Amino acid sequence: MTAYLESSTPVIAKAEQPAKQMRVARDRPYEWAYVIPFIACHLAVFGAIWSGVTWQSVVVCAVLYFVRMFGVTAGYHRYFSHRTFKTSRPMQFLLALIAESSAQKGALWWAAHHRDHHKYSDTDKDIHSPRQRGFWYAHCGWLFDYTEDTKWDRIKDLSKYPELVFLNRVEKLVPTVLGVLVWWFFGWPGLFIGFFLSTVLLWHGTFVINSLAHVHGTRRYATDDDSRNNPWLALVTLGEGWHNNHHHYQGSARQGFYWWELDITYLALRAMAAFGLVWDLREPPARVYEEASQLPSASR
What is the spatial distance between Cα 268 and Cα 271, in angstroms, rounded to a whole number? 5
pLDDT at 292: 81
What is the spatial distance between Cα 194 and Cα 62, in angstroms, rounded to a whole number? 8
**Strands 86-87, 278-279: pairing kind:** antiparallel
Q: What is the dihedral of CA 156, 277, 265, 204, to 10 degrees?
A: 60
pLDDT at 110: 96
> What does the pLDDT look like over 96-141, one tens digit per residue?
999 999 999 999 999 999 999 999 999 989 889 999 889 999 999 8
pTM of the model: 0.87
pLDDT at 34: 80
- Contact by Cβ (8 Å): 268, 74: yes
Instruction: Please identify every stretch of the chain with a pLDDT value under 50, giving residue numbers as ranges.
Output: 1-26, 298
pLDDT at 173: 96
pLDDT at 141: 87
